[in-house]
Structure 1
Amino acid sequence: MRTVKTLLAGDHFVRNELLATALSALDEVSFDFREVSLPWPLTPYGRVAEVDEASDAEDQLIEALPGIEIAVTQMGPFTERVLDAAPDLKLLVVCRGGPVNVNVPAAIKRGVVVASTPGRNAVAAAEHAVALMMGALRNLPRLQRTLEQGEWRSDLYAYDECGLELDGSTVGLVGYGAIGQRVARVMLAFGAEVLVADPFVDEATDGIELVALDDLLRRSDVVSLHARLTDQTRGMIGADQIALMRRGAVLVNTARGGLLDYDATVDALESGQLGAAAFDVFPSEPVPAGARLLTAPNVVMTPHLAGATRQTALRAGSIAAEAVAAYLAGKDPVGLVSA
């Protein structure tokens, strides 16, 4: 039986013991584990050298990597400096949707196969998006605050004050990947009409209408963002796009803060162009004290926790183990990343 020297660089979410359990279930291989425990999410991630969204732990990885053939991490900063210290590394599995914490060209140049774990948080993120959407439609934070303040606001039953239903509404999804597809299925179950704008999708399932982005914005009662952040999508929803939306529409962003102009969004909330908004992601994280968004009307917010479920962490380990199994079998792993 082959023994593979493997580095587990987990954290307080995707724990090393979860990764070890998933890998140890593979047949016909044993692992000689070396472990590094990273501080995320107790310590926020950030930019480390040339990579993004990583724990500042280059020195820890450099010390642990000699002799390692396989490394599995979520937030480990695999910079060029770290990769230079890993001459025996052949496979790097990143337990997230994309390896933003890895210098992928440098890894590939050194013969390292890089894989991610696509879809690991699709269920959690989709469910969270739906929860935020419903919270915004029914203005749940406002209602809770009235009770906390000792009020019983039956006047909020008034026509001009009460919320909206998903049934019969038009919901526009910007992006139709694993998360967007799940949200679409839930929206259809609620009885909503679903529009999708995604330049990489040629056809959708029954009940989904593919449209151009401007058409989606004009027709939707609710717009939910599920696109990846790229040079092409950065700032894709700004003042001009919000002006196209129906007055009183709801805007939801659980994807990436860089997709949306938040100043324009606050302007639209204050003017009534947007009826409500819900966010799990922001242009600066954490949100700066005094940010206009914190006092904007009719906003539901959570601190970038859409993917935070125990099932997500377990799924990350199982998908990572599948990638390792494929590599050991001489096959391309799911989530293979190219430069």
Structure 2
Amino acid sequence: MVDILIAGDNFILPSLFRDAILAHATRAGVSDDLRFRELTLPWPQVPFGPVDGVDEASGSVEELIDALDGVDAAVTQLAPFSRSVIEASPALRFIGISRGGPVNCDLDAASAAGVAVSFAPGRNARAAAEYAVGLILAATRHLTAAHTELARGVWRGDYYTYENAGIELSGSTVGLIGYGAIGRLVGRILLAFGSRVLVHDPYAAVDDLYADGVEPASLDDLLAASDIVSLHARLTPETTLLLDEAALRRLRPGAVVVNSARGGLLDYGALTRLLADGHLGAAALDVYDVEPPSPDSELLSLPNVVLSPHLAGASRSTARRGASIVAEELVRHLTGAPLAHRANAEVSVS
């Protein structure tokens, strides 16, 4: 028998993992060999954060170590697979992490222990892309502000004045910073609206960008030309504070900034100042430098800001897709097939 720990949470439910594993295992003819244990982590009701040296994790190390006793394989979205957890779980040989980046796993420790780690690239791409475009529409057309005012009994007819009227996506120039799975889908949606789409991504092939109907641009050129800038880059040392105050000041007056990627890409103090002094027209934010933001943050009181609590990837399809991708990887591991989405180096142990 193969003992499998399912460390789900209140988004990717343990039942979603179990159903996906059984479906893939049945097709591969190995479902009778599986035995499950389940753990439900407290996210999202309790925010994730750093745990024992890994990032964006949920739950306790002690609880996870207890649950992993004798376990051969584990699947999760947010459990903290730190060095201490991996070293305390000698039977473990596979970890499947149902998210686009396995930041809650110490990959070096896993490799040293001979544990394969797999992840789920693109699992939330469609949800996040749709949400990003929704944020753009909300910021450019007063959707949330008008709703809030009307719910309080205030009819904001002045939003129809020329001075206050929003812009259309058709004919607007939108700059995308980052052109991975999410950025590419956002680009397709914006092109359908009739936008001109500029892309800054040093890792994207120029010929592929032109083939998609978007235009490559340096960061400076993108900032100077865009009515709207939407962030879709991964957070790395290279991209940390990519939009700092100097970069934000290069945006044309009245420009709109959208961030549904990672808070660390953007200088939130500078953003707040430039929104307050009128240099920037609006911002739409789903991620923050500190999550949740402080209740006394000036950003929360600005009238030209659309805010949401890190919801871009929150669709039921994302949850099912994430569970299915790592379940398929688990079955590849069990049957000796090469992993499609291995995240760590292969290191054999004696």
Q: Which has the bigger relative contact order, CA under 8 A and spacing at least 6?
A: 2
> After the TM superposition, which parts of structure 1 deviate over 3 Å for at least 4 consecutive aligned residues?
none
Shift of 1:326: 2.0
Give the counterpart of 2:8 among 7, 10, 13: 10
**2:270 aligned residue:** 264
Shift of 1:309: 0.9
1:112 aligned onto 2:95 = no
**1:330 aligned residue:** 336
**1:28 aligned residue:** 29
- Per-residue deviation, residues 7-63 of structure 1 (Å, max 9, x unmatched): 101011111110000000122112100111111112111111111111132111111
Letter in 1 for 2:197: V
Separation of aligned partners in 2, 1:206 and 1:230: 26
Letter in 1 for 2:300: L
Do the aligned partners of 2:234 and 2:262 also contact (CA within 8 Å) in 1?
A: yes
- Per-residue deviation, residues 207-238 of structure 1 (Å, max 9, x unmatched): 11111111111111110000011111111101
- Per-residue deviation, residues 259-292 of structure 1 (Å, max 9, x unmatched): 0001111111112211110000001111101111
1:207 aligned onto 2:209 = no
Secondary structure of 1:171's match?
strand
* Number of residue-to-residue matches in the alignment: 337
Give the counterpart of 2:154 among 151, 156, 164: 151
Query: Which is further off, 176-185 or 36-45?
Result: 36-45
% of aligned pairs identical?
Answer: 50
Pairing 1:55-70 to 2, within 5 Å after superposition:
55-70=58-73
**1:233 aligned residue:** 239
Separation of aligned partners in 2, 1:43 and 1:155: 40
Do the aligned partners of 2:52 and 2:61 also contact (CA within 8 Å) in 1?
A: no
Give the counterpart of 1:129 among 122, 129, 132: 132
- Shift of the 188–78 alpha-carbon distance from structure 1 to 2, 3 Å rule, reads same
Secondary structure of 1:114's match?
strand
Shift of 1:301: 0.5
Separation of aligned partners in 1, 2:240 and 2:127: 24
Unpaired stretches in structure 2, ≥5 consecutive residues: 346-350
Give the counterpart of 1:19 among 2, 17, 20: 17
- Per-residue deviation, residues 282-314 of structure 1 (Å, max 9, x unmatched): 011111011111112310010001111111110
Separation of aligned partners in 2, 1:214 and 1:90: 46
Do the aligned partners of 1:322 and 1:333 also contact (CA within 8 Å) in 2?
A: no
1:181 aligned onto 2:184 = yes
Separation of aligned partners in 2, 1:306 and 1:15: 18
Secondary structure of 2:273's match?
helix
**2:82 aligned residue:** 79
Letter in 1 for 2:29: E
Shift of 1:66: 2.2
TM-score normalized by the length of structure 1: 0.97
Letter in 1 for 2:276: E
Query: Which is further off, 36-45 or 277-286?
Result: 36-45
Shift of 1:153: 2.5
Shift of 1:140: 1.3
Unpaired stretches in structure 1, ≥5 consecutive residues: none
Letter in 2 for 1:129: A
**1:289 aligned residue:** 295
Separation of aligned partners in 2, 1:133 and 1:172: 12
TM-score normalized by the length of structure 2: 0.94
Do the aligned partners of 2:110 and 2:344 also contact (CA within 8 Å) in 1?
A: no
